[in-house]
Amino acid sequence: MSAPVVALRNVTRRFGSVVANDDVTLEIAPGEIHALVGENGAGKTTAMRVLYGILPPHAGHIEIDGHTVRIARPQDAIRLGLGMVHQHFMLVEPMTVAENLTLGHEPAAAFGAYRAGAAQRAVEELSRRYGLAVDPRARIRTLSVGAQQRVEILKALHHGARVLILDEPTAVLAPQEVDELFRVLRGLAAHGTSIVLITHKLAEVRAIADRVTVMRAGRVVGGGALTSLTHDAIAELMVGRAMAPLVVERTPGVEGVRLEVNDLEVFDARGLAAVRGVSFTVRGGEILGLAGVEGNGQHELIECLAGLVHARGGTVRIDGRDAPRGTRARFAAGLAHVPADRHRRGMIEPMTLAENLILGLERDPALGRGPGLDPAALARHARALLEAYDVRPPDPRARAGALSGGNQQKLVMARELSRNAGVMLVAHPTRGVDLGATAFIHRRLIAARNSGRAVLLVSSELSEILALSDRVMVIFDGRIVFESTARATDERELGHYMTGGAGATA
């Protein structure tokens, strides 16, 4: 390997008594795509925040081109040729692409007038050179997530980045957008730009990385050229044990229909038809997987089934009865809902774990007397669930916002499974969740199925859909365009229909 363009040497960073980075050494070669992998909380993001000057290290130093440098703030990092694409984009939404890129050093004419033309030409030049298609005059808020990400990358390149750090860039992307991103990254690497990719998806590592570094519990535990490492070897380094293969012990035999959806029509927030006449049933003891590229109506479908949005047409029946209006009534009628966005819907971060575990249950007579809530009953309820679902720390008084992503999701799962509902709506149950928690959540979903519940599973991970589901449907443009047993189909076929391929009625 050639001399590293950037290196972290023996970096240690603590948060109070927790050592987030322990003697971390990491070298990035010019023009390589380097995957930094590890479970949530392994210290990947901390290492990159140290590198980018957001967090000062407590020990160790950073080298650029072999010289020790001091990076005290992100401006220093940018000046030294580092660029960071955060998980949550740092863009000014009402402004155009060109305005965002030149923010802070706008090309100016006499009297400080903004030279829009010059800015646009600069963006066009840059996007041509690196093959990143973006309209410089488009306003950020009109762009898709994938396009916004390209703007972030362009912004870093515009600032002269030689090393591009991307923090879980694919978490927000649809499958074909991931392909597009990877094409762009390969092009950049070919131009000599080094790429650091923070991820915990091993399939992506395999698809794009040249080298990989694995972190666990704040330490670098291994790595090397991808050609020298098998999938299982990396997974084992990440979790510190051999990964048990997902044991999908399915009790056979499917029970009666528990969720019945007929000709359902739902409008989105802008008043446009998002779900256009969807019909399906889910039986007890069955997981029905709903695959689709984000934005094809699956979000509106779930929100409507959960009672959050009223249907414009069609019927929903739960256990043979017409589903009542409103969320609370639907919970009572036997519905549980693991929402797609746990931060916006699924939990209340400043509240305690005990309080989060009673969201939607706060009127349960068992939790207090009359209008009062009994703190002891809340704590008992919480302790039992936190233990059963292995939420760490199992402290009912800890705040939900302090948990890692995996533990937050286990918290939501614990609450929803504790409703003992016959029908479960489960959306993206393992998004942003580490491998250990993912396996746990998968086992719980299978167990729920085996106990006779009907599960509607929405996920953007086709491997997850195929591994868990008994039957699979594809939603495209608000309609169900494909249906099959999970065994009789594969990722390629699903991907074909998800993207509106032939055979689909668009």
Q: What residue ranges bind another protein (CB under 8 A)?
A: 15-18, 306-308, 326-329, 331, 337, 339, 341, 344-351, 355, 358-360, 362-363, 368, 371-373, 375, 393, 395, 397-399, 401-402
Residue 226 vs 347, nearer CB to another protein: 347
Q: How far is the CB of 362 from another protein (least distance, A)?
A: 5
Residue 107 vs 324, nearer CB to another protein: 324
Span between the terminal Cα atoms of the chain, in Å = 50
Burial class of residue 469 in the structure, from the number of CB atoms within 10 Å of its CB (0-12 exposed, 13-18 middle, 19+ buried)? buried
Q: Distance between CA atoms of 131 and 183, rounded to whole angstroms?
A: 9
Residue 356 vs 459, nearer CB to another protein: 356
Q: How far is the CB of 372 from another protein (least distance, A)?
A: 5
Q: How far is the CB of 394 from another protein (least distance, A)?
A: 12
Residue 160 vs 375, nearer CB to another protein: 375
Calculated CA dihedral for residues 124, 127, 130, 131, nearest 10 degrees: -110
Q: How far is the CB of 46 from another protein (least distance, A)?
A: 12
In DSSP terms, which residues pair with 454 in a beta bridge?
Answer: 286, 423
In DSSP terms, which residues pair with 19 in a beta bridge?
Answer: 14
The crossing angle, in degrees rounded to 10, of helices 116-130 and 175-190 is 90
CA angle 315, 320, 322 (to 5 degrees): 40
Tokens of 47: 């290492």
Burial 348-383 (b: 16+ CB within 10 A, else e): eeeebbbbbbbbeeeeeeebbeeeebeeebbbebbb
Residue 404 vs 499, nearer CB to another protein: 404
CA angle 218, 223, 227 (to 5 degrees): 155
Residue 425 vs 454, nearer CB to another protein: 425
Q: How far is the CB of 210 from another protein (least distance, A)?
A: 34
Residue 145 vs 351, nearer CB to another protein: 351
Q: Which of 115, 339, 453 is nearest to 123 (CA)?
A: 115
CA angle 294, 300, 303 (to 5 degrees): 120
Q: How far is the CB of 341 from another protein (least distance, A)?
A: 8
Q: Distance between CA atoms of 197 and 37, rounded to whole angstroms?
A: 8
| Residue 67: other Cβ atoms inside 10 A | 8
Residue 206 vs 392, nearer CB to another protein: 392
Residue 245 vs 372, nearer CB to another protein: 372
- The DSSP secondary structure of 456-482, one letter per residue, reads EEE-S-HHHHHHH-SEEEEEETTEEEE
Which amino acid does the sequence have at 303? E
Strands annotated E in 55-200: 59-64, 67-69, 82-85, 163-167, 194-199
CA distances to 37, 53, 81, 214, 433 from 404, in Å: 16, 23, 31, 19, 8
Q: Distance between CA atoms of 474 and 480, rounded to whole angstroms?
A: 6
Q: How far is the CB of 50 from another protein (least distance, A)?
A: 14
Q: How far is the CB of 218 from another protein (least distance, A)?
A: 15
When computed from its CA atoms, the radius of gyration of the chain, rounded to whole angstroms, is 24
Q: Are strands 313-318 and 257-267 parallel, antiparallel or unpaired?
A: antiparallel
Residue 341 vs 483, nearer CB to another protein: 341
In DSSP terms, which residues pair with 308 in a beta bridge?
Answer: none
Q: How far is the CB of 96 from another protein (least distance, A)?
A: 29
Q: How far is the CB of 363 from another protein (least distance, A)?
A: 6
Q: How far is the CB of 440 from another protein (least distance, A)?
A: 23
Which amino acid does the sequence have at 125? E
CA distances to 194, 264, 465, 475 from 480, in Å: 42, 11, 16, 4
Q: How far is the CB of 382 from another protein (least distance, A)?
A: 14
What is the length of the chain? 506
Residue 308 vs 467, nearer CB to another protein: 308
Residue 395 vs 491, nearer CB to another protein: 395
Residue 240 vs 375, nearer CB to another protein: 375
